[in-house]
Amino acid sequence: MIIIMQDKATEKDVQDVISRVEDFGYMPKLLEGSVRTVIAALGDARDKARLQALESLSHVESVMPILKPYKLCSHEVQSEKTIIDVNGVKIGGDKVVVMAGPCSVEGEEQIMKTAQAVKEAGASILRGGAFKPRTSPYSFQGMEEEGLKLLRKVSDAIGLPIVTEVMNPREADLVHEYTDIMQIGARNVQNFSLLKEVGKLKKPILLKRGLSTTIEEWLMSAEYILSEGNSNVILCERGIRTFEKATRNTLDLSAIPVTKELTHLPVIVDPSHGVGYWQYVASMSKAAVACGTDGLMIEVHWKPEEAFSDGPQSLKPHKFSKLMQELRPVAQAVARTI
């Protein structure tokens, strides 16, 4: 249920309703908009009649049920778009934010050269994996904490915020210490212990869609994070598993307008994982911008032929620079900037 306060309700009135909601056994979430203050009451809806009775209070305008199973993600709770500020980079606004960098951190020279190249081309955030979930246990698993240290060093040197993946609840505090955005990968989208752990942190979370995850399941995973108190969630479409083998995955671009119709959270696209081959990344990036994405996550490596992981889908710096130039008129055509 959501409790909509009167526009003249005082802070004391709001606290009165929050206390009542807690007394009824619900978890209150305060959502302050530009016009109205809303309190979401989260819990077992079978006792909703007690909440409905709060309409009798003079400082409450109305009490309404939240129809969607994902409560805090929905437009019913928050009509305004969520814009997430990452060290001055705003995700969810008019600018399509580009995150770029290698799949894996492999060494200081590799990450530094790639970072310098993507920043020069116009990227706003540096991506790179320190912990790598791989299908084979014999594949490169990442440099772990040493990789995190290199990411932080490069970030501080060139002035780009960083995004990197956290795979394990036990490593959440460690990744939190070094990064600016914590990524939950496709394989962990329903790792509820991990979702709860990062939900207790205040750092932005980039939540990738799972290989076979429906949009509703994806949003329910985001709900786990929001329900723990972290409202800084960025959704990332990265392709889903279908019968098609011509590409690594099937990039579901329809998920962009569908998801944005359902939630106030920003939605970005990872075309590199979506297709798995560098030669398709540019066209899918342009299509994603045309579909309304709030950002792109693109793999770039200064020597992809020597990459420890995902070399075939990584752009060389000069190809990434060319793509950034080609994206600008597409963004302008849909009233956005790059």
- Ordered by start, the domain boundaries in the chain are 2-64, 84-333
pLDDT at 132: 65
SS (H, E, C) 140-152: CCCCCHHHHHHHH
Q: Give the integer Cα–Cα distance in Å for 27 and 308.
A: 46
Residues 6+ apart with CB under 8 A from 189: 207, 208, 209, 210, 213, 217, 218, 221
Higher pLDDT, residue 123 or 42: 123
Q: How would residue 135 be classed by pLDDT, with cut points 50, 70 and 90?
A: low
Q: Give the integer Cα–Cα distance in Å for 147 and 110.
A: 11
> Does the pLDDT value for residue 307 go beyond 90?
no
> Does the pLDDT value for residue 110 go beyond 70?
yes
Q: Give the integer Cα–Cα distance in Å for 254 and 270.
A: 14
pLDDT at 148: 95
- Which residue, among 289, 249, 283, has the nearest Cα to 269 in the 3D structure? 289
Q: CATH assignment of 84-333, given 3.40.50.970, 3.20.20.70, 3.40.50.1100, 3.40.190.10? A: 3.20.20.70
Interval 265-295: pLDDT, tens: 999 999 999 999 999 999 999 999 999 999 9
Neighbour-count burial of 222, counting CB atoms closer than 10 A to its CB (0-12 exposed, 13-18 middle, 19+ buried): buried
The mean pLDDT of 45-49, rounded to a whole number, is 74
> Does the pLDDT value for residue 77 go beyond 90?
no
pTM of the model: 0.89
Report the length, in residues, of the chain: 338
Task: Give the distance from CA 248 to its chain's centroid.
Answer: 22
Q: How would residue 301 be classed by pLDDT, with cut points 50, 70 and 90?
A: very high
> Does the pLDDT value for residue 197 go beyond 60?
yes
> Does the pLDDT value for residue 43 go beyond 90?
no
pLDDT at 319: 98
pLDDT at 142: 65
The mean pLDDT of 231-253, rounded to a whole number, is 97
Q: Give the integer Cα–Cα distance in Å for 131 and 115.
A: 18
What percentage of the chain has pLDDT greater than the value 90?
77
Say if strands 97-101 and 125-127 run parallel, antiparallel, or are unpaired.
parallel
> Does the pLDDT value for residue 133 go beyond 80?
no
> Does the pLDDT value for residue 230 go beyond 90?
yes
* CATH architecture for segment(s) 2-64: 2-Layer Sandwich (3.30)
- Scored b (16 or more CB within 10 A) or e, 175-200 reads beebbbbbbbbbebbebeebbbbbbe
* Mean pLDDT score of the chain: 93
> Does the pLDDT value for residue 50 go beyond 60?
yes
Q: How would residue 331 be classed by pLDDT, with cut points 50, 70 and 90?
A: very high
pLDDT at 49: 84
pLDDT at 31: 80
> Does the pLDDT value for residue 138 go beyond 60?
no
